[in-house]
Amino acid sequence: MTEWREAIEKTLAWIEDNITEDFTLLDLANQAGYSPFHFSRLFRLIVGTTIKKHIANRRLCRAALDIRDTKERIIDIAIKYGFSSQEVLTRALKTEYGYTPYAFRKNPLLIMLPIQNVVLLPENYIDILSTANCNGSYSCAMSVLPSMISKTFGAVLFVFSFM
């Protein structure tokens, strides 16, 4: 099962690096070394969404980042990320985030954008070992498992308090 996760992790990175390119399910499956049917099943099982929806969400998110961070025309951003027109991008942003590109560019703090999905392999578990000396000694050891990490959006924050 680890090789499946590795293939999906590499595919997620490849998608992110090539998000502005046109690619097909067959291209992604060949990249991972699986048949298109088996690859799409594995992708949905591990990532929790279909390949098509994942790519659409990542393109929309990256378009929103470009709208926020650049002065590029909305139509140019739409075409760059594979939307057929400015209207299609506007409709997608309005549907997903509730704001038009103009409103988002004017006030980018209005929406929370998703981050890239991450698949943690067993060899990538994070071991946290900390020791603090506060009126005695305290030590903490824990392993972060993939089930503790959001599969889709968000971040992980650990807070240790020593009293």
Higher-pLDDT residue of 108 and 85 is 85
pLDDT of 112: 64
Q: Note the pLDDT tens digit of each residue in 53-74.
A: 999 999 999 999 999 999 999 9
Higher-pLDDT residue of 44 and 109 is 44
pLDDT of 153: 37
The DSSP H or E segment spanning 52 is: helix 51-69
Instruction: Decide: 119 and 9 in contact? Cβ < 8 Å.
Output: yes
Burial class from Cβ neighbours inside 10 Å (0-12, 13-18, 19+) for residue 64 reads buried
pLDDT of 163: 33
pLDDT of 37: 95
Asked if the model's pLDDT at residue 152 lies above 50, the reply is no
Mean pLDDT of 84-96: 95
What the chain holds in terms of domains, given with CATH numbers, is 2-110 (1.10.10.60)
pLDDT of 115: 57
pLDDT of 129: 33
pLDDT of 70: 93
Mean pLDDT of 122-146: 36
Higher-pLDDT residue of 140 and 50 is 50
Burial class from Cβ neighbours inside 10 Å (0-12, 13-18, 19+) for residue 155 reads exposed
Mean pLDDT of 118-127: 47
Asked if the model's pLDDT at residue 135 lies above 60, the reply is no
Mean pLDDT of 135-141: 33
